[in-house]
Structure 1
Amino acid sequence: MHDDWRANLVESPEEVRAIARAAKRVAVLGIKTEKQSGQPAFYVAAALQRAGVEILPVPVYYPEVTEILGARVARRVADVPGPIDIVDVFRRSEDVPAHLDDLLAAKPKCVWLQSGIRNDQVAETLARAGIRVVQDRCLMVEHRIALAGG
């Protein structure tokens, strides 16, 4: 019965929205700073924060930055204190595998690859580890639909 890991690959709109709706603490891997506020890797997190979600910033660049959106920066997802509902990933599909060990160590409930991001090998590894995976969806959009009762 080892095929049950496939249930962790979340595809149905209802399940996707249920995950988005339930998220209270979201680590944003690859978050940009206020200086890049026009980019999705910043404004998606800002919109979620305005909607009441706690944002845990994990930038890949900007070594000098210690706070984003008023929250303390962690350099690795595994360094974020406390439980994580979703790790929202803003990295190119080919850059995602470099974060796999960190994601596995962090043990979030869900790893969410943003719109345009898909890596089936990483998704399978995470799913087999008991972590739910959403690929190629925008968390901000799905969260809005979920809150609107969609």
Structure 2
Amino acid sequence: MDQEQQTIWRILQESRSIAVVGLSARPDRPSHEVAQYLQRHGYRILAVNPAYAGSRILGEHCHATLADAAAALQKEGAGIDIVNCFRRAEEVGAAVDDAIAIGARCVWLQLGVIDAQAAARASCAGLAVVMDKCIKIEHMQLR
């Protein structure tokens, strides 16, 4: 196992809560499938999507913003471990900045989502960064 795989394994082992930014209520969308998989494997999913705010996705209340999701989880005495971004690369910078602001431990940019500047900001702020990888695929390979 190389260094990157070891880091991913550690992140997945140590994390319990995953905010999914851009989570869709539509079961045919990748974000929904990935979040459902993670839920089945014991992770707490926090839905973040302003289009669905106030509704429920996968049995969880959907929040308009990452800050709203973090505040809700903080009331339970917990924080967000991973911010999993299902956003276009040109839109992901704002989600990364929000992840830094809420004190998340990791920013995970899904397969095909690459923003080196946003990743550098997160890394400089002390967050672990995984970019251009699917969290579901990585979890399946490391199990």
| TM > 0.5 fold call | yes
Say whether residues 1:55 and 2:45 are aligned partners. Answer: yes
SS of the residue aligned with 1:115?
A: coil
Please say if 1:85 is aligned against 2:81.
yes
Q: 1:72 Cα deviation (Å)?
A: 1.1
Q: 1:62 to 1:79 in 2, by over 3 A?
A: closer
Residues 39-96 of structure 1, C-alpha deviations (whole Å, 9 max, x = no match): 1111000000011111010014334x52111111111112222311101100011111
The counterpart of 2:105, out of the listed 109, 116, 125, is 109
Structure with greater contact order relative to length (CA < 8 Å, sep ≥ 6): 1
Match of 1:69 among 58, 63, 66: 58
Where does the alignment leave 5 or more consecutive residues of structure 1 unmatched?
1-10
- What residue is the counterpart of 1:18 in the other structure? 10
Q: Deviation at 1:14?
A: 1.6
Task: Say which of 104, 120, 125 aligns to 1:124.
Answer: 120
Shift of residue 31, structure 1, vs aligned partner: 0.4
Tell me whether 92-101 or 48-57 shows the greater mean CA deviation.
92-101
Could you tell me how far apart the structure 2 residues matched to 1:99 and 1:48 are? 20
Give aligned pairs, total: 134
Matched residues in 2 for 1:37 and 1:21: separation?
26
In 2, are the aligned partners of 1:29 and 1:60 still within 8 Å (CA)?
no
Question: CA–CA distance in 1 between the matches of 2:99 and 2:58?
Answer: 22
Whether contact under 8 Å (1:21, 1:143) holds in the other structure is: no
Query: Which consecutive segments of 4 or more residues in structure 1 shift more than 2 A?
Result: 60-63, 98-101
Gaps of 5+ in 2: none
TM-score (norm 1): 0.82
Counterpart contact for 1:17–1:145, Cα < 8 Å: no
What percentage of residue pairs aligned between the two structures are identical?
37
Would the alpha carbon gap of residues 100 and 12 (structure 1) be closer, same or farther in structure 2, given more than 3 Å must change? closer
1:28 to partner: Cα distance: 0.3
User: What is the DSSP-based 3-state SS (H/G/I as helix, E as strand, rest coil) of the residue aligned with 2:10?
Assistant: helix
